[in-house]
Structure 1
Amino acid sequence: MALACLAAALGLAVQHPLGAGPAVAGVLTVSLLARYFWILWPAWMLALLPLAAGAPWTGWLWLGEWDLWVLASAAGGYAAISGPHRQPLPAVQPPWRRELRWRSAAWVSGLALLVSLCLAAELGIQDAGGWALGLYDTPHEPGMALRSVKAALAMGLMLPLWLRSARRAPQALTPALLLGVGALAALSAAGVLIEHLRYQGWQLSALDYELSGAYWEAHFGAAVAPAMLVLCLPFAVLAVMRRRSPLGFVVSSGALILSLLALLALWSAKVGLALVASSGLMAYLSWRQRQMLRSGVSDPASSWFPGKVPTDADRPASRGPAFAALALLCLLGGAVAWRLQPLGGSRAVWGIAVVVMLLMLQPGPSAQATQKQRGLSFALGGLVALALVGLTLLIAEGLPRVSYLAFALASGLSLLLARWTRRGQAPWNSPLADALRAMVWLWALGLVAVMSWTWAGEAVWAWAWWPLLVLALAWPLSQDRSLGGAFIDLGWRSRLAGVMALLLGAAALSFAAPGGGMGALARWGESHWPKRLQHWGEALDVLEHRQAWGFGVGAGRFAALYQANAPLDMQPPDYRWRHAPDGPLLRLAAGTHSLAASEWLRLNQHIAAAPPDLRLRLQARAAEPVSLRAEVCQKHLFEPIACRSQDFALATSAQGWRTFDLPLGGSGELERSGPWSPGLVFSLALTQPGQRVDLRALSLQGRDGVELLRNGDLAQDLAHWFPSAHRNPWPWQLQSLPLHVLLEQGAVGLALGAWLLTLALARLGFGSARLHPLAPALAASLLGFAVLGLTETLVDSGRVAFLALTLLALGLGLRATPPVQPAPAPAL
């Protein structure tokens, strides 16, 4: 098995469009990692799924780096099973110690679902013309049938490795899985946020820009990045709940904050509904699990998992007043930020968030300070801070950016002073040091108004003076031992949790406030509902017409069926590669109805540069003149931010090929200036309804004469060419997971999938897995995925489908093993 998997992986690697050398090296590296870390790799490999994202550069749609990843991991894992081993293997654990065991019902149902998927693949391939598979098959060709079922086949390939890891080292399974999925959440979120920062800046408004992160499968409108984050988010929450060390808590909190910020940037009503359902279920199951363990049920052997659920003896003293003070401080900061947002915008919101965070992290006053000295420290600090704010304001009149630098300086000084004061060493444990801390914090607070003033002008002062004054009074209250003593006694964990909540609240406030994007996104989503309902009805009509309710029409056939059943005046756009007697060609067809520019079908290729005086040369053939748009844009994957584009009227003839030399121009303004610069993408699209054209011999060059296109002659099929129509998902996506399964696999496949999901949720909530540490997170992930799938297809992405099936399989097999009892003392 190991040799077969390695041969298949290397066979695909040598045909990789970006070069066989790096692909082969990657396969061998992953195989070695899986071979020597076979206990942990089945879980760790999940973390690196976002890196398998080369399709926009390779042109592979139904194959990809993810296939190489799985095959290489399986090769290494099966090689580890067969040996030899340099060190003795861990002993096989007795059945009662194994955390992963599937009962007969799960095995039979899972095999039935796999058979249903294989049958759907066979039906889809036969409907597409048979097993004539190509590496670059388009959405209408046979390869797409396998794209829909590869995740299940990969899961079947990896399942024995999961079982072996659980049998030999059950204590490693749960921590490795938490680390793998938590890291996957962080990497997925980082991809989304990096794209947002590079192309959109800091404002969390996604109406005119659809983020995709590392998930190119969104090229036809799939919500892939939100689905991956909804699946991973409960594990990030669980990591925060279980970590006990400050470093672990900070790292886990960072992953959680990244995930939530990314979800805010990807926000929609369906994402919000999925998060509400997921978080509600996780909160209930975590509370119930905690109550059961505190009521006398022993913590299971899974307590190898980091952290421990406390018993009654571990209950902390009541901290109600402290938590109330923390909550009131957060609410006060939120109210002030909401007041300042209309004029100050996101800079005011984030400034107030940082100021309140600094206050949360402050220690109490020095021990020898009296009540009168504390009051004098605040008054003295306030006077000096007022002078510093005035000085900064005078400088900012000529240099507005100085206010931002001063705010960063004040914030850093506030953190340093808090750290030095906590050490309790002279001179930082004196009333004078308290006055210095108050001065720096009040200076940072005043600078929020200055930053807002540089943006909105004099109107800020009348709007902001009293909210900032109210917030300034929080300093003496938090430092007073009679009123603020409860707050001072809070530990690091509670303070960091408050900081995390504050940062997330600031992001949510920036997004939800007027002009922040949430209202516009809600209106945009509502406008799509009538079209969505009509779309679903048309799919059901196809099932009725073909009488395929039992076993479906076959996998990967939706795009072809949509095109075949669309009215003549509503035909979707299309593209095909053909090998004609006179050479290969690319056939482009526009839809027969008007589409907005963002809805056109584009054929894209990433290019390395955009020098001055760009020229496009091509040969074209068409029955009538066509309008062709050629563009070079700064893009991540799909959404342009700056373009050099031209519309060309091609006077073609159906009898023969004509050569065109088309000037795109430019002065090099799109050139990349560094690794952080936006990527460059060349695109072709037909702009008028009903047009068709054949293209070949494409060449794009600048003044320097260097060829910028790869495979411009189309001799390598569609290598390096990548389609996108992400604002027009209807011809490519059914936009509903249950209906997608019903269309491809029929009622049998839908019933099997629903049964397995129900069985997994029942086991995690009420069955033998209910006490397992991962049970709340697994159940929440599966429910959130199911809710999001009500209005999204999701499983068209092999990576998302693989993760969802992995979590489903774990939900069906995990169990809370009996606790490890200490050995009895020998009798005397």
Structure 2
Amino acid sequence: MLSRVINLLVALTAITLGGFLALNYPVGTLLPISGFVAIAVISFYQPSLFLIIIPAILPVSGFAPWTGWISFEELDLLVLATATGGYARFAFDGKLDASQRTSSLLLLLSILMSVSILISMTRGFADAGGFVFGWFQGYDGPMNSVRIGKSFFLALLLIPLIARLQNTLGTITSRKLGLGIAIGLGTASIAALWERLAFTGLLDFSSDYRSTALFWEMHVGGAALDGWLLLTIPFSIWALRNSRSTFQFVLSLCLVGLAAYASLTTFSRGVYLALMVALPLLAWQTRSQLKPVEIHQESLTWGFFHWMIALVLLGTMAGLVFPTGGYRGLLALFGLIAISLSMPQVLRKISLAQFCSSCLTGLFLGALLVVLSNFLPKGPYVLYTFLFMLTFPALYWPRIWAIASSPAITMASFVGLMLSAANVAGYWGGVEALPGAFGALTLMFLILVWAAFSKRPLWPNDLRWQGGLLTTAVAVSGLISVFGGGAYMGDRFSTSSSDLDGRLLHWRQAVAMLQTSADITFGKGLGRFPANYYFAIPTGAFPGTYQIKEQNGNSWLSLVAPRHPISFGDVFRISQRLSFSAKGPFVVDLKVKTNAATAIHVEVCEKQLLYPGGCVVGSVTVKATNAEWQPVHIRLAGAELSGGPWYAPRLKMFSLGILNKSGAATLDDVVLTTDRGANLLRNGEFTNEMQHWFFTSDRDHMPWHAKNLLVNILFDQGMAGLGLFLLLTVCALWRLNLGSAREHEISPYLTAAIIGFLVVGLFDSLTDVPRLAFLYYLVILYALSLGTLGKRRKRMHSKKRAPAAQVVQQ
């Protein structure tokens, strides 16, 4: 009875808080209330679905650039709705199973961490001058402590729900969580893919553009996308290995490819390092999880040494083709690799004489077709496509019809396709591309001959395995493209030493701000790094700030520029999203007050978050107004905004800022119009504070972050909080690898996710992103509860002594 009452109280608290947030949602209440009710109903009738829903939509459910909310966000509504339905179900679903127990370790660590966070939250309020509630406070307000601290409590709120599901559903719970995290990787990667297609193009690795996907938290820099990728990429491997149908396997392969592309286009050295640590660790830990058939087919043939040789060969071929043959030559090489993987099985039925005659036939006919194709528009591409479509089905003729000549025809077609691939590279890169292309093709041909006539197959004749190798080839080629296809990544690596020196200095400055014994023990307070950095660090590092002020019922925006020379990227911007259909020419009208001559900058840019794709801009210098409002009229100039391709439209953003160093101004009644006269802005008079407005610091990022996970926690929560964070993490890893959860199928993937996250955290704060911190704490707390539940299941089944195969099936 007591448990029912507790569950009901939690559900009522969740619906009260969630309803309050939904009713105050800045861009309308119908959608958030409807969504809240829908999630609550789903959680009541299908409690386990939240394990899929929450991780899946989390990367694309942050709308701060539209709402203006920073302290609160859609994550809060999502978790509170889930808690409403889940705990209500518990309240009306009878008593909890008598076998359900709470881990003493999990309970103790949760209590201690909660106390630490609450203490640091209170210290954050005090450091901000006292607690004042507000919907639209920035990072220097007391509500930023709430923003940072809520993630742990939101994750903790879901753990009893997961524990109940784990108790009743067993391994199905972990599989649904794994599926949800894998889908979350997919949604984040698709968002990153859209961003690249819209603003740089798919294969542009030279532009100074790092993917942010839909993580608005990167508006002042940071590594939100980096941390999300490393937390979720291990589950793409989990999805690949647990695919039960060809369709699922193909989807999983696509997911791995998307994740690889998203990771590469972060251009983050931390991401690359974390992947180099986490993925080999995952491969080592899961080597014993291969199915018996997979072990027989793959492990005996392809051990570590074989895979290393394959990676070297793939990298060599891609390295020979790409520098001069470009992406088109590389794509032609992919097609050859895809076909060559299935060739040995067909060629084993061919004699040496047939093989030689087929090669000569293919060489003669292929050369003739190559010559003719060069007289046609796009002829090399057309010929390659034709020969690929001829060769690919020919591989399967022997399985459908008994055609004796099929292997010979297939080999002749393949040789012609090889010549066509070289022609594609030459058509794109000129004569200079041919030596590299023929070098790669010669290497491939020699491997194929060896595979065709060896007594033992060189690789498994399994489509799933071959799909995995092809995905590996894509990843290797992606690395070659990033490092060889543009100067951007090379430039980043060339500055690694100086960048590390800068980080070390930044970390020392952050720690030096902890001056009292209370600071060292309990931290300055959650989310107080930006505000303290403003005052503790030399003024040249000040990045700019803003404040909404009100007097006699009138509100306005007070804007202060950075205290260092300002380039276009250094402008501290106050921005608002515009509709996709917004088209110029644009005119801006506003009122300004300033005590000194100030250069006001306004712009409309095609912009996702930090990097503009195209802009129309305007500026005006306003003289001192002697406390009087001065009207300003600015016509924006520049090339017409393209809008982006139809399949990846570009977002648009209006921004205003101050161009002169240490400039300050008061702004009000901001209006953006077109020739049609319609105002495109909302809340331009700032009567609703920062509703619909959003700030960005496009290039000046260091003042906003401690730039190290452990330093950030030390600054926020002191030695006590840092010790508890490390203890929580170490205990979770111990449970997964040495404790009672070590044999659980999902343990290696959770371990790899945690380790990858921590490696990225060597170079960025991470826990100052609520969505990211929520998922990390959810993984950690779930890992601790998983160990306890594993013990209970072992006790429950010890008397049954079921065969091992039956236990696996359960």
So what's the TM-score if we normalise by structure 2? Answer: 0.91
Aligned-partner Cα distance in 2 for 1:633–1:218? 18
Q: 2:175 is aligned with what amino acid?
A: P
Q: Secondary structure at the match of 1:678?
A: coil
Q: Kindly indicate whether the alpha-carbon contact (under 8 Å) linking 1:204 and 1:517 is maintained by their aligned counterparts in 2.
A: no
* Change in 2 beyond 3 A, CA 1:512/1:170: same
- Offset, 1:597: 2.2
- Offset, 1:697: 0.5
Q: 2:318 is aligned with what amino acid?
A: A
- Offset, 1:743: 1.1
Q: Name which of 767, 775, 780 aligns with 1:795.
A: 767
- Stretches of structure 2 that go unaligned for 5 or more consecutive residues are 1-9, 803-810
Q: 1:739 is aligned with what amino acid?
A: V
Residue 297 of structure 1 corresponds to none
Aligned-partner Cα distance in 1 for 2:777–2:412? 56
Q: 1:201 is aligned with what amino acid?
A: G
Q: Secondary structure at the match of 2:515?
A: helix
- Offset, 1:375: 2.8
- Offset, 1:391: 1.9
Alignment length (residue pairs) = 786
Q: Secondary structure at the match of 2:577?
A: strand
Is 1:777 the equivalent of 2:749?
yes
Residue 688 of structure 1 corresponds to 660
Q: Kindly indicate whether the alpha-carbon contact (under 8 Å) linking 1:204 and 1:510 is maintained by their aligned counterparts in 2.
A: no
Q: 2:486 is aligned with what amino acid?
A: G
Q: Deviations over 1:14-61 (max 9, x none)?
A: 322222112222112211221221033235422211121211111111
Q: Secondary structure at the match of 1:39?
A: helix
Q: 1:376 is aligned with what amino acid?
A: S
Aligned-partner Cα distance in 1 for 2:743–2:206? 40
Residue 400 of structure 2 corresponds to 424
Residue 268 of structure 1 corresponds to 268
Q: Name which of 753, 758, 761 aligns with 1:786.
A: 758
Aligned-partner Cα distance in 2 for 1:318–1:22? 51
Aligned-partner Cα distance in 2 for 1:784–1:758? 14
Aligned-partner Cα distance in 2 for 1:519–1:666? 32
Matches within 5 A, 1:347-496: 347-362=328-343, 364-365=345-346, 369-395=350-376, 399=377, 401-418=378-395, 420-421=396-397, 423-426=399-402, 429-431=403-405, 433-478=406-451, 480=452, 482-483=453-454, 486-487=457-458, 490-496=461-467
* Change in 2 beyond 3 A, CA 1:160/1:210: same
Question: Percent sequence identity over matched residues?
Answer: 25
Q: Deviations over 1:165-214 (max 9, x none)?
A: 12222242121111111111122222212212221223363761121002
Aligned-partner Cα distance in 1 for 2:302–2:706? 51
Of stretches 605-614 and 67-76 in structure 1, the one that deviates more from structure 2 is 605-614
Q: Kindly indicate whether the alpha-carbon contact (under 8 Å) linking 2:543 and 2:700 is maintained by their aligned counterparts in 1.
A: no
Q: Kindly indicate whether the alpha-carbon contact (under 8 Å) linking 1:740 and 1:793 is maintained by their aligned counterparts in 2.
A: yes
Residue 599 of structure 2 corresponds to 627
* Change in 2 beyond 3 A, CA 1:59/1:316: same
Q: Name which of 603, 621, 634 aligns with 1:662.
A: 634
* Change in 2 beyond 3 A, CA 1:718/1:524: farther
Q: 1:83 is aligned with what amino acid?
A: F
Aligned-partner Cα distance in 1 for 2:291–2:17? 49
Q: Name which of 517, 520, 526 aligns with 2:497.
A: 526
Q: 1:20 is aligned with what amino acid?
A: T
Residue 76 of structure 2 corresponds to 67
Aligned-partner Cα distance in 1 for 2:715–2:302? 55
Q: Deviations over 1:72-127 (max 9, x none)?
A: 1111111221236xxxx9x97674xx7xx653123112210011101111211232
Residue 715 of structure 1 corresponds to 687
* Change in 2 beyond 3 A, CA 1:468/1:780: closer
Q: Secondary structure at the match of 1:594?
A: coil
Q: Kindly indicate whether the alpha-carbon contact (under 8 Å) linking 1:363 and 1:421 is maintained by their aligned counterparts in 2.
A: no
Residue 727 of structure 2 corresponds to 755
Residue 499 of structure 1 corresponds to 470
- Offset, 1:485: 5.6
Of stretches 375-384 and 499-508 in structure 1, the one that deviates more from structure 2 is 375-384
Residue 316 of structure 2 corresponds to 335
Residue 304 of structure 1 corresponds to none
Q: 2:296 is aligned with what amino acid?
A: P
Aligned-partner Cα distance in 2 for 1:320–1:573? 61
Q: Deviations over 1:484-505 (max 9, x none)?
A: 7614752223222211211111
Aligned-partner Cα distance in 2 for 1:337–1:559? 45
Is 1:741 the equivalent of 2:713?
yes
Q: 2:549 is aligned with what amino acid?
A: R
Is 1:549 the equivalent of 2:487?
no
Matches within 5 A, 1:520-599: 520-544=491-515, 547-581=518-552, 583-599=554-570
- Offset, 1:673: 6.7
Is 1:34 the equivalent of 2:46?
no
Aligned-partner Cα distance in 2 for 1:814–1:477? 48
Q: Deviations over 1:278-321 (max 9, x none)?
A: 2343334334xx3xxxxxxxxxxxxxxxxx7557x995268755
Aligned-partner Cα distance in 1 for 2:465–2:549? 63
Q: 1:349 is aligned with what amino acid?
A: L
Residue 644 of structure 1 corresponds to 616
Q: Kindly indicate whether the alpha-carbon contact (under 8 Å) linking 2:42 and 2:49 is maintained by their aligned counterparts in 1.
A: no
Q: Secondary structure at the match of 1:549?
A: helix
Q: Deviations over 1:588-620 (max 9, x none)?
A: 111111133222211111112443331100000
Of stretches 539-548 and 715-724 in structure 1, the one that deviates more from structure 2 is 539-548
Q: Secondary structure at the match of 1:394?
A: coil
- Offset, 1:217: 0.6
User: Root-mean-square deviation (CA), in Å?
Assistant: 2.8
Q: Name which of 47, 65, 68 aligns with 2:56.
A: 47
Aligned-partner Cα distance in 2 for 1:624–1:435? 84
Q: Deviations over 1:253-277 (max 9, x none)?
A: 3222222221111133222222233
Residue 731 of structure 1 corresponds to 703
Q: Secondary structure at the match of 1:123?
A: helix
Of stretches 500-509 and 242-251 in structure 1, the one that deviates more from structure 2 is 242-251
Aligned-partner Cα distance in 1 for 2:644–2:338? 38
* Change in 2 beyond 3 A, CA 1:266/1:422: farther
Is 1:20 the equivalent of 2:29?
yes
- Offset, 1:563: 1.2
Q: Deviations over 1:525-562 (max 9, x none)?
A: 43322332222222222112575111111111111111
Matches within 5 A, 1:84-483: 95=99, 102-203=102-203, 205=205, 208-243=208-243, 245-287=245-287, 290=288, 310=291, 316=296, 320=300, 331-362=312-343, 364-365=345-346, 369-395=350-376, 399=377, 401-418=378-395, 420-421=396-397, 423-426=399-402, 429-431=403-405, 433-478=406-451, 480=452, 482-483=453-454
Aligned-partner Cα distance in 1 for 2:47–2:235? 22
Aligned-partner Cα distance in 1 for 2:50–2:298? 43
* Change in 2 beyond 3 A, CA 1:749/1:670: same
Q: Kindly indicate whether the alpha-carbon contact (under 8 Å) linking 2:163 and 2:785 is maintained by their aligned counterparts in 1.
A: no
Q: 1:752 is aligned with what amino acid?
A: L
Aligned-partner Cα distance in 2 for 1:286–1:589? 54
Aligned-partner Cα distance in 2 for 1:16–1:79? 24
- Offset, 1:335: 2.1
Aligned-partner Cα distance in 1 for 2:311–2:397? 23
Is 1:58 the equivalent of 2:67?
yes
Q: 2:277 is aligned with what amino acid?
A: A
- Stretches of structure 1 that go unaligned for 5 or more consecutive residues are 291-307
* Change in 2 beyond 3 A, CA 1:627/1:489: closer
* Change in 2 beyond 3 A, CA 1:279/1:824: closer
Q: 1:106 is aligned with what amino acid?
A: L
- Offset, 1:672: 6.1
Aligned-partner Cα distance in 1 for 2:509–2:470? 49
- Offset, 1:748: 0.7
